[in-house]
């Protein structure tokens, strides 16, 4: 899953609303009982959305990938049960 919010809509709760809707649909219609997410270190907004929606950080890995010459770590998040 990925999400992007228009600059003039940042901070208005749209990403959290959409993620909560996705969680609800996954649980009710597809019998999903857990969701996992990976977030790169350069994306604190996505980390905040996941935390707001009940995800918990499980682990962190340094040196996960290099983008444009910058090496980034990644945090693994889990929401279970949903």
Residue 53 lies in a domain: yes
pLDDT, residue 2, reads 85
- Asked if 39 contacts 55 with a C-beta cutoff of 8 angstroms, the reply is no
pLDDT at 8: 96
Q: Tell whether 48 is covered by a domain.
A: yes
Q: Which helix (H) or strand (E) holds 74?
A: strand 70-79
Residue 44, pLDDT score: 96
The answer to the question of residue 72 being in a domain is: yes
Split the chain (82 residues) into runs of 10 and give each run's mean pLDDT: 90 97 97 97 97 98 97 98 94
Report the pLDDT value the prediction gives residue 38, as an integer from 0 to 100: 98
Tell me whether residue 2 is in a domain.
Answer: no
pLDDT score of 77: 98
Show contacts of 26-32: CB within 8 Å, 24+ apart.
26/82, 27/82, 32/82
Q: Is residue 1 part of a domain?
A: no
CATH code for position 61? 3.40.630.30
Domain count, the chain: 1
Does pTM top 0.85 for this prediction?
A: yes
State CA 53 to chain mean position distance: 9
Domain boundaries, position 52: 7-79
């Amino acid at each position: 899953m990925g999400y992007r919010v228009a600059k003039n809509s940042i901070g208005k709760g749209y990403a959290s609303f959409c993620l909560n809707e996705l969680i609800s649909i996954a649980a009710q219609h597809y019998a999903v009982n857990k969701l996992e997410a990976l977030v790169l270190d350069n994306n604190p907004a996505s980390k905040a959305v996941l935390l707001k929606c009940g995800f918990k950080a499980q682990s962190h890995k340094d040196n996960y990938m290099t983008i444009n010459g910058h090496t980034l770590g990644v945090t693994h998040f889990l929401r279970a049960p949903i």
